[in-house]
Amino acid sequence: MVLATSAVRLASRRIACSPATRRAFASNARQESAPSKALPFLAAAGLAVGASQIVSSENKTYNLTKDDVLDKEKWKHFFESYYNSVINFATKETEDKFAAYWPRNILILFGPPGAGKGTHGPKIEDMLNIPQLSTGDMLRAAVSAKTEVGLKAKAVMAAGGLVSDEIVVGIIRDRITEEDCRFGFILDGFPRTLVQAKALDKMLAEEGACVTKVIELEVPDSVLEERICGRWIHKQSGRSYHIKYAPPKTMKSLADGSPDPASMFDDETGEPLMQRPDDTAAALIKRLKGYHKETVPILKHYAPNGVVKSVNANQGMDGVW
């Protein structure tokens, strides 16, 4: 940002408020930019007060000659820099107020295995400009960063135990304090039970927040087997492929029409893809039973708040969106 001496700023304000200047700026909307049209007035302001220096935001002083004051390009640079700094300041101030006083957009994405959470989640993330948080990723990051909660989780896993809801909620609490979550976040994979949902609500209430939207991706159980058994994933990024609906570019088929495992590579990195051990027809039956028994009641928990929205995910991408 560039700042003029106080005399220049005062004269500039007076000229900016004059009828001639207002007419010039009004005309700019149809002709040229405000900074360019205002240059003669700014130059006049500088001459009127005998401007002698410009001070940069780094507190460097630049002496001005009479020719400098009349230099259109120098005034253009000054005015545009000052104008942009004001806009940036106002934008930042508005963002800070929004983050402080407006409820964060906290969204939970639900759906049975194969419903398309891995496909639609990133699109929602891009649309709302808030991060999608996976409990698995957060857990690994906390352990790697050796946070207090991460060390607790590491000790439990090293002993062969299951990480408690309290630890998972603590990991989420730490993660949502980061800058990218200031306007909200998307939870994927948590909560999975009603107990977890209530623990999440309690934690968010302590932070002055609450769940603002729950999206359920609906797909009939009969459709899910084809989706699940044809799914391949890139382990490092979580990118998901399907041998029928979204095959990798490298996929080749064997004589029986099934994909050749040796040809399954990630489109972006070229790294091998894998199938999850539980992406089988037998495992799906058990997973769906657990989903309907434990996860669906969470929807009933949030329904009275008017935040639950069910979406038919048994259709093409355009239909879902």
Q: Beginning with the edge strand found earlier in the chain, give each strand of the sheet holding 53-56 in spatial order.
A: 2-4, 53-56, 61-63
Q: Which of 152, 175, 213, 231 is catalytic?
A: 231
How far, rounded to the nearest angstrom, does the alpha carbon of residue 260 sit from its chain's CA centroid? 36
Q: What's the CA angle centered on 31, arms 66 and 11, to 5 degrees?
A: 35
**72 catalytic residue (yes or no):** no
Query: Exposed/middle/buried for 38, CB within 10 Å: 0-12, 13-18, 19+?
Result: buried
Q: Which of 23, 276, 286, 289 is catalytic?
A: 276
Q: Which of 117, 175, 213, 239 is catalytic?
A: 117
Q: How far apart are CA 227 and CA 185, in angstroms?
A: 27
Of 294, 283, 125, whose CA–CA distance to 215 is shortest?
A: 125
**22 catalytic residue (yes or no):** no
Q: Scan for tokens 């994979």, then name that residue.
A: 189
**9 catalytic residue (yes or no):** no
**227 catalytic residue (yes or no):** no
Of 219, 265, 225, whose CA–CA distance to 241 is shortest?
A: 265
Of 238, 272, 240, whose CA–CA distance to 115 is shortest?
A: 240
Compute CA distances 269 → 84, 234, 248, 258, whole Å.
39, 9, 11, 23
**173 catalytic residue (yes or no):** no
Q: Which of 9, 76, 123, 192 is catalytic?
A: 192
Catalytic residues, which ones? 117, 192, 231, 276, 287
